[in-house]
């Protein structure tokens, strides 16, 4: 069939590239190697943050010949990502399958009751942590997070509208966390399918604020349409290059220093099916370490103001376990847990 | 004018042998992708995205890369019509409305005319949309920003209203089909509450009933079942392949300029906001039929039934790129993938792109003009070839179509369960036609149902449950009022006819 033919075309091109690498580059590290193309699952739709990152990695791996076999990227977004996670859960022992996660690794099973858990998967590595920033329209009078929260406090209940990506997912969790300090006043949270739609809601002045990821809102910030109030991280961003005429990512205060004690970051990590060997996990950890060293990756991290924390092994598993607990607590408090 | 000077410099960027070659490659790949149901422009572009990675690092390579990818997109827009017309299988969601009249034309042995009409209309729609982009980009971008969720719902409502009553089926059968469509659309994940609904504990249903899978079954498999019943042969097999068909069809198309203009207008407008090509094609078809002097000809092989949806779909597909470039907001799934591509190549879409990356932007716009011309030439020269496919004996082509349907359904989201759904929908499609139930309302409800519901509920969240939000400003008010007017148009037009004392009530659009 033509579709397969086209796949083959892509594949053979990638294979050719791989073969050249094998011939020219010094031998790959010892140990396990994939023996067929690796399926890279994205539990989210095309065009979103996870999708961009996965396809970017696919591009880096093929450009720098980091693997003898190509990645085949597949979107399995159904049921807020449940489709993708269930696929990996059902592929026990398959070393040719990896999945990139966002917070839906925790939120989807908790909110929908879909039967999966990160313990059904093998943690490979944390690639980065995605940041969240509190944004308002540049025309709005609020210059700091403190002023904005005070306005919410002083306004009517549900007067202030917050647009966000998805329902009972990271954006809404942050919104609920903010409501702890707004003196009982709630936001009207309006869920949208993607970060782009959320940004346009704010630029079009249809809502009061968003907690978009940096990469989702940076273009509008540079164009002077949006204003960042604070970043939901423990410390300021490390990127000091000017993004706008006057500001760099590092100039955005943390929410805590603005008197808004809320912290949240989203995992961009890699998992494999359960039942794989140590060698197989080690191969992918090594692969992603090489990806991280490329100049393209470093630029990508800076453009999206990512927190570049890297973890693997037990350290990573412990982090995931703690994150799951945090999400459980936050969602329980917000009443987002699925009824059993 | 400044735009023209910029555009000419854009042509200067694009017109290199290498870029023209990329254009050809892109269009051909795109047509193949468009033909395969389920694969779709978004997936096609996504698969090839990593290949552009190295390309984009050459000098001027970013323009070359976007030319390759956008030409795949144009190709997919062209290609979607081919299987719709020949086999009643829409290759892309926006080609569904093309099957309504395109396929009957093929069955009457006029496949070459239908294909020519479809391709030419696509070209006209895209051309008008590119002209809009060239001269009104900033204006259009501002217009896109003024669209809030109530406006979005109003547009969905208008699409519905313009399509209701389009078929000749008894109203109760239409309502039954539509209700089934809504029910199917609501299964799966509810994005507003973030919970699953109507999945009855089956994990396979977390995706709901994907539109493409349903359409492949209802139209494609249903059609094969009916053809088998009628004697294992395609009607229209003995059609003569006339090499002059293209010229002759053009002669006829000129007369339908108003339909094309309306389709392009609807398309340009709908493409700017996510909503995009699929509702645009339905709305355009519905309106063309409603305001035709002979609405009863539609659905039986009326050439305007091909012109209307194709101009709208292609115009929408083109203007969908504009919000991506000017706002960094994708107007369609394919635009979303292209957006990812831009970011990967180190470009930042958004309001500053037109200022900081002039060469790139105008190169892209110039490539839209050229790409569509190249695409039209390629697909038109292949019209006799495509039409000849119908001459292949049914016993050979039918299994091939079945495989095509199966692959398409599987590729929609890489799930085996989709194949069972296709079979189920095939049977539904067959039974529907046998019992004289209309399929179009079901399909329309399925494709628009969850989007309309989402926009409605988002609006309700904003207004704290007050319906007055749909008349809260002039934009949404006008669209909603138009929708209501159209919904009751059959009654209104009948009333007008009666008031004028005419007896030819039967001629009024029903």
How many Cβ pairs within 8 Å bridge chains A and B? 191
Q: Say if B348 is an interface residue toward chain A (CB within 8 Å).
A: yes
Q: Is the torsion defined by CA of B18, B20, B24, B27 positive or negative?
A: positive
The pLDDT of residue A309: 93
The 3-state DSSP class for residue A243 equals coil
Calpha distance B161→B483 (Å, rounded): 6
Instruction: Give the tens place of pLDDT for each residue, B459-469.
Output: 999 999 999 99
Q: Where in chain A is the domain with CATH 3.40.190.10?
A: 133-251
Higher pLDDT, A71 or A207: A207
Domain that holds residue B124: 2-49+62-507
Q: Where in chain A is the domain with CATH 3.40.190.150?
A: 2-130+266-334
Looking at the complex, report in whole angstroms how far the Cα of residue B191 sits from the nearest Cα belonging to chain A: 6
If you measure CA to CA, which chain B residue comes closest to A73?
Answer: B47
Calpha distance A51→A43 (Å, rounded): 8
- Mean pLDDT, to the nearest integer, of B123-149? 87
Query: Which CATH class for the A2-130+266-334 domain?
Result: alpha beta
Looking at residue B223, the DSSP 8-state letter turns out to be H
Task: Record the tokens describing residue B447, joined without a space.
Answer: 């494709």
The pLDDT of residue A20: 43
Q: What percent of chain B has pLDDT over 70?
A: 93
| Cα of B388 vs its chain's centroid, Å | 25
Domain assignment of residue B251, yes or no: yes
Calpha distance B322→B325 (Å, rounded): 5
Instruction: Give the tens place of pLDDT for each residue, B68-106.
Output: 988 988 888 888 888 889 888 887 778 889 999 999 998
Task: Record the tokens describing residue A183, joined without a space.
Answer: 């003196």
Q: Residue B329: is it exposed, middle or buried by C-beta count within 10 angstroms (0-12/13-18/19+)?
A: buried
Looking at the complex, report in whole angstroms how far the Cα of residue B485 sits from the nearest Cα belonging to chain A: 27
Nearest Cα to Cα of residue B13 among B375, B374, B362: B362
Ranges of H-type helices in chain A:
2-24, 49-63, 82-89, 104-112, 145-154, 170-179, 195-203, 214-222, 278-293, 295-303, 313-334
Instruction: For residue B464, give every residue at least 6 positions away whose Cβ sits within 8 Å of its Cβ, in sequence order, or none.
Output: A158, A188
Calpha distance B385→B380 (Å, rounded): 10
Q: DSSP characters for A26-91?
A: PPPPSS---SSPEEEEESS-TTSHHHHHHHHHHHHHHHTT--SS-EEEEE--TTTTHHHHHHHHTS
- pLDDT confidence tier of residue A269, bands split at 50, 70 and 90: very high
The pLDDT of residue B1: 67
Task: Write down the residue that tokens 């050979």 correspond to.
Answer: B396
- Mean pLDDT, to the nearest integer, of B375-388? 86
Instruction: For residue B150, give every residue at least 6 positions away whose Cβ sits within 8 Å of its Cβ, in sequence order, or none.
Output: B455, B459, B462, B463, B469, B470, B472, B476
- pLDDT confidence tier of residue B471, bands split at 50, 70 and 90: very high
The pLDDT of residue A172: 94
Nearest Cα to Cα of residue B249 among B319, B310, B299, B317: B310
Instruction: Name the least confident of A104-113, B43-52, B57-66.
Output: B43-52
Calpha distance B33→B30 (Å, rounded): 5
Task: Record the tokens describing residue A274, joined without a space.
Answer: 């359960």
- pLDDT confidence tier of residue B263, bands split at 50, 70 and 90: very high
Q: Could you give the number of structural domains in chain B?
A: 1
- Mean pLDDT, to the nearest integer, of B36-43? 70
ipTM: 0.83
Kindly tell me if the per-residue pLDDT of B56 is higher than 90. no
Subunit contact A197:B329, Cβ cutoff 8 A:
yes
Calpha distance B122→B283 (Å, rounded): 16
Which of A18, A46, A84, A87 to probe by mutation at the B interface, max B CB count within 10 Å? A46
Of A46, A161, A219, the CB nearest to B337: A46
Instruction: Give the tens place of pLDDT for each residue, B303-341.
Output: 999 999 999 999 998 888 888 788 777 667 777 778 778
Domain assignment of residue B55, yes or no: no
- pLDDT confidence tier of residue B232, bands split at 50, 70 and 90: low
- pLDDT confidence tier of residue A119, bands split at 50, 70 and 90: very high
Task: Write down the residue that tokens 């907001």 correspond to.
Answer: B329
Inter-CA distances, A129 with A50, A307, B7, B133, Å: 12, 5, 42, 38
Kindly tell me if the per-residue pLDDT of B159 is higher than 70. yes
Kindly tell me if the per-residue pLDDT of A4 is higher than 50. no
Nearest Cα to Cα of residue A107 among A332, A340, A315, A316: A332
Q: Residue B263: is it exposed, middle or buried by C-beta count within 10 angstroms (0-12/13-18/19+)?
A: buried
Looking at the complex, report in whole angstroms how far the Cα of residue A190 sits from the nearest Cα belonging to chain B: 6
Subunit contact A112:B196, Cβ cutoff 8 A:
yes
Nearest Cα to Cα of residue B344 among A71, A81, A51: A51
Average pLDDT, rounded, for chain B = 84
Q: What percent of chain A has pLDDT over 70?
A: 91
The pLDDT of residue A148: 96
Query: How many degrees, rounded to 5, is the angle at CA A152 between CA A147 and CA A153?
Result: 95
The pLDDT of residue B251: 85
Q: What percent of chain B has pLDDT over 90?
A: 25
Instruction: Give the tens place of pLDDT for each residue, A131-176.
Output: 999 999 999 999 999 999 999 999 999 999 999 998 999 999 999 9
Instruction: Give the tens place of pLDDT for each residue, A7-66.
Output: 444 444 444 444 444 444 444 446 899 999 999 999 987 767 888 899 889 888 888 889
Subunit contact A7:B53, Cβ cutoff 8 A:
no
The pLDDT of residue B441: 86
Kindly tell me if the per-residue pLDDT of B354 is higher than 90. no
Nearest Cα to Cα of residue A245 among A222, A226, A214: A222
Q: In terms of DSSP bridges, do strands B195-197 and B188-190 run parallel, antiparallel, or are they unpaired?
A: antiparallel
Q: DSSP characters for B317-338?
A: HHHTHHHHHHHS--SSHHHHHH
The pLDDT of residue A273: 97
Q: Residue A10: is it exposed, middle or buried by C-beta count within 10 angstroms (0-12/13-18/19+)?
A: middle
Looking at the complex, report in whole angstroms how far the Cα of residue B169 sits from the nearest Cα belonging to chain A: 35
- Mean pLDDT, to the nearest integer, of B115-134? 93
Higher pLDDT, B323 or B218: B218
**Topology classification of domain A133-251:** D-Maltodextrin-Binding Protein; domain 2 (3.40.190)
Nearest Cα to Cα of residue A149 among A189, A174, A173, A183: A183
If you measure CA to CA, which chain B residue comes closest to A193?
Answer: B191
Calpha distance B143→B327 (Å, rounded): 11
The pLDDT of residue B241: 59
Task: Record the tokens describing residue A152, joined without a space.
Answer: 């919410």
């Amino acid at each position: 069939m033509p579709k397969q033919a086209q796949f083959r075309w892509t594949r053979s091109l990638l294979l050719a590239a791989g073969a050249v690498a094998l011939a020219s580059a010094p031998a790959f590290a010892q140990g396990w190697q994939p023996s067929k193309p690796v399926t890279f699952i994205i539990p989210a739709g095309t065009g979103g943050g996870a999708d961009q990152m996965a396809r970017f990695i696919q591009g880096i791996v093929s450009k720098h010949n980091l693997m003898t076999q190509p990645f085949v990227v597949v979107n399995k977004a159904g049921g807020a990502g449940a489709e993708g996670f269930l696929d990996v859960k059902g592929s026990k022992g398959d070393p040719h399958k990896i999945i990139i996660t966002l917070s839906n690794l925790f939120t989807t099973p908790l909110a929908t009751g879909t039967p999966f858990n990160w313990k059904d998967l093998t943690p490979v590595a944390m690639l980065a942590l995605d940041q969240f920033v509190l944004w308002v329209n540049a025309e709005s009078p609020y210059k700091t997070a403190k002023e904005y929260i005070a306005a919410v406090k002083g306004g009517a209940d549900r007067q202030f509208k917050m647009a966000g990506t998805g329902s009972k997912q990271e954006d809404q969790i942050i919104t609920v966390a903010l409501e702890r300090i707004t003196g009982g006043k709630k936001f009207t949270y309006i869920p949208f399918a993607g970060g782009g739609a959320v940004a346009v809601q704010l630029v079009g002045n249809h809502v009061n604020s968003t907690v978009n990821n940096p990469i989702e809102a940076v273009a509008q910030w540079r164009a002077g349409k949006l204003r960042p109030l604070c970043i939901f991280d423990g410390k300021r961003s490390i990127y000091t290059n000017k993004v706008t005429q006057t500001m760099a990512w590092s100039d955005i205060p943390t929410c805590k220093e603005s008197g808004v004690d809320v912290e949240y970051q989203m995992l961009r990590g890699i998992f494999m099916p359960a039942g794989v060997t140590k060698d197989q996990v080690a191969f992918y950890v090594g692969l992603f370490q090489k990806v991280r060293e490329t100049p393209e990756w470093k630029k990508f991290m800076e453009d999206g103001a990512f927190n570049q924390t890297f973890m693997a092994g037990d350290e990573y598993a412990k982090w995931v376990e703690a994150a799951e607990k945090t999400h459980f607590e936050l969602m329980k408090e917000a009443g987002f847990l699925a009824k059993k | 004018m400044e735009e023209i000077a910029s555009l000419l410099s854009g042509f200067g960027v694009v017109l290199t042998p290498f870029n023209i070659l990329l254009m050809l490659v892109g269009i051909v790949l795109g047509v193949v992708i468009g033909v395969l149901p389920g694969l779709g422009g978004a997936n096609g572009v996504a698969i090839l995205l990593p290949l552009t990675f190295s390309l984009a690092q050459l000098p001027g390579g970013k323009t070359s890369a976007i030319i390759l990818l956008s030409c795949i997109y144009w190709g997919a827009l062209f290609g979607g019509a081919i299987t719709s017309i020949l086999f009643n299988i829409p290759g892309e969601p926006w080609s569904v409305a093309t099957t309504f009249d395109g396929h009957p034309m093929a069955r009457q042995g006029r496949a070459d005319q239908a294909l020519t009409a479809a391709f030419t209309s696509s070209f006209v729609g895209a051309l008008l949309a590119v002209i809009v982009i060239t001269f009104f980009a900033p204006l259009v971008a501002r217009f896109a920003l003024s669209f809030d969720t109530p406006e979005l719902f109003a547009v969905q409502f208008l699409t519905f209203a313009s399509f209701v009553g389009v078929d000749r089926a008894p109203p109760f059968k239409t309502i039954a089909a539509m209700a089934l469509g809504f029910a199917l659309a609501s299964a799966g994940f509810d994005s507003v509450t973030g919970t699953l609904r109507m999945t009855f504990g089956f994990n396979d249903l977390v995706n709901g009933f994907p539109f493409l899978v349903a359409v492949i079954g209802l139209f494609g498999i249903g059609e094969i079942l009916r053809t088998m019943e009628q004697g294992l042969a395609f009607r229209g097999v003995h059609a003569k392949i006339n090499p002059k068909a293209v010229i002759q069809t053009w002669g006829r198309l000129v007369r339908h300029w108003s339909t094309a203009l309306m389709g392009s207008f609807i398309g340009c407008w709908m493409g700017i906001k996510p909503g995009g090509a699929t509702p645009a094609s339905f709305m355009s078809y519905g309106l063309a039929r409603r305001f035709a002097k002979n609405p009863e000809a539609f659905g039986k092989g009326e050439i305007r039934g091909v012109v209307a949806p194709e101009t709208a779909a292609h115009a929408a597909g083109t203007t969908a790129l504009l919000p991506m470039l000017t706002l960094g907001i994708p107007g369609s799934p394919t635009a979303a993938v292209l957006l990812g591509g831009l970011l990967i190549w180190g470009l930042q879409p958004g309001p500053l792109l037109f200022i900081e990356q002039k060469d790139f932007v105008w190169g892209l716009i110039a490539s839209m003009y050229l790409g569509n011309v190249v695409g039209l030439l390629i697909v038109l020269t292949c019209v006799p070839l495509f039409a000849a496919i119908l001459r292949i004996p049914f016993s050979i082509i039918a299994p091939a179509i079945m495989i095509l349907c199966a692959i398409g359904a599987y590729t929609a989201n890489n799930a085996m369960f989709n194949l069972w759904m296709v079979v189920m929908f095939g049977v539904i499609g067959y039974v529907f036609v046998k019992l004289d139930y209309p399929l179009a309302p079901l399909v329309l409800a399925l494709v628009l149902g969850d989007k309309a519901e989402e926009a409605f509920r988002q609006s309700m969240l904003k207004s704290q449950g007050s319906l007055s939000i749909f008349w809260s400003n002039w934009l949404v008010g006008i669209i909603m009022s138009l929708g209501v007017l159209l919904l009751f148009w059959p009654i209104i037009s009948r009333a007008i006819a009666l008031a004028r004392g005419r007896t030819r009530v039967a001629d009024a659009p029903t």
